[in-house]
Amino acid sequence: MSKESIVTVSIDGKMVSVAAGATLLDACRQAGVDTPTLCYADNLTAANACRVCVVEVEGSRTLVPSCSRSAEDAMVVQTDSERVRHSRKMVLEFLGSGVDLSQADDLAGWIDYYGSEPDRYGPDRAMIKEEVRIQDSLYIRDYDKCVLCYKCVSACGEDAQHSFAIAVAGRGFDARIRTEFDVRLPDSACVYCGNCVAVCPTNALQFKTEFDLRKMGEWKPTEQAVTRTVCSYCGVGCNLEVHVQDDTIVKVTSPDDHDVTSGHLCIKGRFGWSYVQPGQSAAEEGD
Amino acid sequence: MADLHLSEDLASEAEVSAIDSAIAELGLDPAVVQETPRLVRGGNRRRASRRHGLLPALHALQRESGWISPGGLNHISKVLQVPPAEAYGVASFYELFRVDSPPDHDGNVVHVCVDAACQIAGSAKTIASLEAQGVAVHRSPCLGQCERPVAQFIQGRQRPDSVEADGVENGSIDGVLWDLPQKHDPSLKLLARVGRIDPTSLEAYVGSGGYRALARAFTLGASKVVEEVLSSGLAGRGGAAFPTGIKWQAVAAESGQKYVVANADESEPGTFKDRTLMENDPFALVEALTIAGFATGATKGWIYVRGEYPLAVQRLQNAIDAARDAGFVGQGIARSSIEFDIEIRRGAGAYICGEETALFNSLEGFRGEPRQKPPFPTTHGLFARPTAINNPETLLNVLSIVLDGGEAYAASGTEGSSGTKLFCLSGNVVRPGIYEVEFGPTLGEVLELAGGVVGNLRAILLGGAAGSFVGPDMLDLPLTMEATRDAGLSLGSGVIMAFNDEVDLGAVVTRIAEFFRNESCGQCVPCRVGSLRQHELLESSLSSSRGEEPLGIVSGSAPALLLEEMDRVMKDASICGLGHTASTAVRSAIELGLMRSSR
């Protein structure tokens, strides 16, 4: 690599060199600095919406989102200054004050770390209250948990599936993920690839199998075995991670860093496992 | 057809015809459905060829049917090859489009302004009396008619939109010339023609010195025009005060397709200057934008006008058409080899679209959500091409800069603020209206131009809803960019709204908080939730419970400290200026002691 294609930045006083075009988040990772993210995913275009990954860059009036700001040579970055801690605390607090983060496993530790207090806005505060949408036997949508990170929209759209079945509709706190006129998923352009489910960070989108097991108090992720295999449907070679609990497949994912899938699958790989366990799968239970 | 998934809802014949003619007006063939499936990709964000027709098509459907019907949306989606979920996401973003079936399909919708100037002039009474007559009323954010409250914007069903405001009949193009408070002042520059010449006549425009600046620009050459703008010290008049010459220079240095855009989405509460200019001197904006295009090497200009300014749209379109007929717009303008054309786009009710990158998204047919900067518009603007974007007031200054030279312009005003500035005076002043002053006079002196304050002055909102309240002790503040900056204030868009001691300022400030809550696009968390919690906190602190005196908010109290915490994250971590400034007025009001109780 030529010298010009390397930039060196200071992260909390530690000098790190990254390839030109790398983000500040990449630089933070290289410096060994753990950074909370929500709307960012390695396999999606950065949405730059949640602002939980903000850092302080010397000379910048405002904080900058590390996920989508390119590292520039000689940048001086603080990731744990009072300003950064305050903004991260407040972003997590704001989110927790409006939606249900109880299944956002990756956030719990950060909420604790930054001391966010979502309840201090009082019991009368506006929160998102919507019925769980159960419109088929493959996945459910529980928008009380939606943080509007845009990941499902990107995965449904140009980052993976190109179905464009969902988009953000409305404005401000009333903005929601919607099909056109909120038509039922089976009536929309949805092809049930489940890539939206795979990228959802708060479990607002869940496999129906997981939803049913949770309802019964039977969801036990720690007791699940995850087996990596190759999808048997066609010749593309998508790798699958089959999650099994009590000898039953409960969901299927694909590794984000897999060359073929980048974590994305089609309906067959994602939901078409019923032939493995005839008579058991949620897909056969019907709606 | 490609793989668009549309429901079975069909558009009515009238809807099809309305949508198709709106699309045909843009020079797009509504019958052409491109065969390539790639075009379907709504995510193909940079595809400029058809998707920019979305806003005009939605306007046509709304006017025809009174709402965005599923059948109509299907037709738009098919013709423009936009996925219906995305088209719905765009339609539902805007105040002027409704996506649920209206109870009364036959009627117009009356949008009544409830922001500060109209609020204190009694918009609540207007709404009550309209509703008593059975009129469908929509509580609207500022309509930019603050000098003549209470303002109503009448969104027509199968008829043109119009505006009704105090004592003014301006629904038609034959409307009377606007009566400017300063009309006999010979020193006016930006307002020189306003109310004096027929705004619909190119002949009158040319007769009063119009198109001399364009001729002079051609004589100077593009790079010299940029130099003059640079040396003039002209700074943007929208609030950020960015040097216009630096913007133009950056765009001029880029190659390939470039654009110039007039940001006429004037929506800052209390602001009505660009409307006054566009309605009464539309040719000046057309000429100034043409000079901007020539100077930066852009062959296409766009004017994005807020949807609630029907008269401005009408007069600008008339001006563009007349200028095109006379050879001032189009191929080989003014007998040169220069090509430059202008297209108007109407917004549809969204304050956020005044943010430049949100405006680009809106114009391109996407939701009006701001983009992360960098990259900046000078390299990645409209359709991801280098773009110079300025508001009408800023652009109009260029005419005298080109005619008289940058040095002469820089000599006017003060050291740090050259030229003249339009101030929008409203509220409790004797003669509300637009006032043009050479930078320098104090706040008190500008107020005196408007005849002073009615009653005892309690506070002034300086710079708009995104600005700050100041007290009577600030009347000696020079209204220059440097003096306001040093005082921790901003001139913003030139709003000076006065309030006397009879106004319920708690209610005014709470409404400002509600404004930001309603206008936040929802993209980033700090602004989406912060603006909501701020409004909730003000409402609960200022409303009386069980007949007790409301608590109010005083400086240093628990709610004031919480607001400060919210303000900090909105300022530090929001994507755009809306979030950055959503708390500024509220906090200044608390510091001034305006929120002690709602009286």
Where residue B475 sits, what CATH number does that domain have? 3.10.20.600
Among B192-206, B541-555, B564-578, whose mean pLDDT is lowest?
A: B541-555
Region at B66 (left for phi over 0; alpha for psi -120 to 50; beta for the rest) = left
Nearest CA in chain B to A121: B533
Residues B239 and B374 in one domain: yes
Residues B495 and B510 in one domain: no
Query: What values do phi and psi take at A212, rounded to 5?
Result: -65, -45
In-domain check, residue B26: yes
Task: Return all residues near A26 (Cβ < 8 A) that are at least 6 apart.
Answer: A18, A71
Mean pLDDT of chain A: 94
**Average pLDDT for residues B30-37, to the nearest whole number?**
60
**Please, which residues 112-141 of chain A have a Cβ atom closer than 8 Å to chain B?**
120-122, 124-126
3-state helix, strand, coil in chain A (%, to 5): 30, 20, 50
CB B322 within 8 A of CB B267: no
Question: Which residues in chain A are closer than 8 Å to B5, comparing Cβ atoms?
Answer: 163, 165, 188-189
Among A50-54, A217-221, B284-288, B335-339, whose mean pLDDT is lowest?
A: B335-339
| B42 in A contact zone (CB under 8 Å) | yes
Which has more pLDDT, B222 or B163? Answer: B222
Question: Which residues in chain B are closer than 8 Å to A94, comparing Cβ atoms?
Answer: 525-526, 528-530, 533, 569
Q: Is the ipTM of this complex over 0.85?
A: yes
**Average pLDDT for residues B19-29, to the nearest whole number?**
93
3-state secondary structure B33-93: CCCCHHHHCCCCCCCCCCHHHHHHHHHHHHHHHCCCCHHHHHHHHHHHCCCHHHHHHHHCC
Which has more pLDDT, B45 or A23? Answer: A23
For residue B571, pLDDT beyond 80: yes
Amino acid at B279: E
Distance CA A265, CA A194 (A): 7
**Please, which residues 545-584 of chain B have a Cβ atom closer than 8 Å to chain A?**
562, 565-566, 568-569, 571-575, 580
**Average pLDDT for residues A79-89, to the nearest whole number?**
98
Contact B572 A63 (CB under 8 A): yes
Contact A171 B521 (CB under 8 A): yes
**CATH number of the domain that B584 lies in?**
1.20.1440.230
**Please, which residues 191-250 of chain A have a Cβ atom closer than 8 Å to chain B?**
none
Residues B266 and B155 in one domain: no
Residues B245 and B389 in one domain: yes
Last-in-domain residue among B27, B59, B91: B91
What 3-state DSSP class applies to A253?
A: strand
Residues B487 and B536 in one domain: no
Question: Which residues in chain A are closer than 8 Å to B574, comparing Cβ atoms?
Answer: 51, 62
**CATH number of the domain that B150 lies in?**
3.40.30.10
In-domain check, residue B100: no
Of A91, A158, A162, the CB nearest to B526: A91
In-domain check, residue B243: yes
Task: Return all residues near A203 (Cβ < 8 A) that are at least 6 apart.
Answer: A103, A104, A142, A145, A210
**Please, which residues 346-385 of chain B have a Cβ atom closer than 8 Å to chain A?**
350, 367, 372
Residues B253 and B366 in one domain: yes
Of B521, B533, B575, the CB nearest to A97: B533
Beta partners for B498? B427, B460
For residue B585, pLDDT beyond 50: yes
| A267 in B contact zone (CB under 8 Å) | no
Last-in-domain residue among B478, B500, B522: B500
Q: How confident is the model over A104-123, as pLDDT tens digits? A: 988 999 999 999 999 999 99
Distance CA B564, CA B587 (A): 8
Q: Positive or negative CA dihedral for A191, A192, A197, A203?
A: positive
The interaxial angle of helices B222-232 and B244-252, nearest 10 deg, is 160
Question: Which residues in chain B are closer than 8 Å to A90, comparing Cβ atoms?
Answer: 526, 530, 565-566, 568-569, 573
Token pair 């929601």: residue: A176
For residue B215, pLDDT beyond 70: yes
Q: Which domain holds residue B426?
A: 420-500
Among A59-68, A206-215, B20-29, whose mean pLDDT is lowest?
A: B20-29
Instruction: Please return the burial class of B401, using the count of CB atoms within 10 Å of its CB with bins 0-12, 13-18 and 19+.
Output: buried
Cis status, amide bond into B37, omega within 30 of 0: no
For residue B359, pLDDT beyond 80: yes
Q: Could you give the domains of chain A?
A: 1-126 (3.10.20.740), 139-285 (2.20.25.90)
CB B575 within 8 A of CB B457: no
- How sure is the predictor about B205, in pLDDT bands with cuts at 50, 70 and 90? very high
Of B42, B367, B573, the CB nearest to A87: B573
Distance CA B445, CA B421 (A): 14
**Average pLDDT for residues A207-213, to the nearest whole number?**
97
For residue B464, pLDDT beyond 70: yes
Q: How confident is the model over B307-349, as pLDDT tens digits? A: 999 999 999 999 999 999 999 999 988 888 899 999 999 999 9
Contact A164 B523 (CB under 8 A): no
Residues B133 and B210 in one domain: no
In-domain check, residue B96: no
What is chain A's length? 287
Contact A97 B529 (CB under 8 A): yes
In-domain check, residue B194: no
Range of A74-88, B21-35, B48-62 with top mean pLDDT: A74-88
In-domain check, residue B2: no
For residue B174, pLDDT beyond 80: no
**Please, which residues 503-542 of chain B have a Cβ atom closer than 8 Å to chain A?**
517-526, 528-533, 536-537, 540
3-state secondary structure A99-151: CCCCCCHHHHHHHHHHCCCHHHHCCCCCCCCCCCECCCCCEEECHHHCCCCCH
In-domain check, residue B597: no
| Domain count for chain B | 5
Query: What values do phi and psi take at B497, rounded to 5?
Result: -115, 120
Q: How confident is the model over B424-449, as pLDDT tens digits? A: 999 999 999 999 999 999 999 999 99
pLDDT of residue A283: 46
Residues B222 and B318 in one domain: yes
Q: How confident is the model over B232-242, as pLDDT tens digits? A: 999 999 988 99
pLDDT of residue A21: 93
Of B70, B532, B573, the CB nearest to A54: B573
Last-in-domain residue among B500, B527, B555: B500
Amino acid at B113: C
Q: Retrieve residue B513's tokens.
A: 């908080």
In-domain check, residue B175: no
Residues B527 and B544 in one domain: yes
CB B308 within 8 A of CB B163: yes
Of B5, B43, B580, the CB nearest to A189: B5
Q: What angle do CA B225, B231, B233 make, to 5 degrees?
A: 115
Q: Which of B96, B111, B9 is nearest to B55 (CA)?
A: B96
Residues B368 and B515 in one domain: no
Residues B258 and B224 in one domain: yes
What is chain B's length? 599
Residues B119 and B268 in one domain: no
Nearest CA in chain A to B87: A180
Q: How confident is the model over A226-243, as pLDDT tens digits? A: 999 999 999 999 999 999
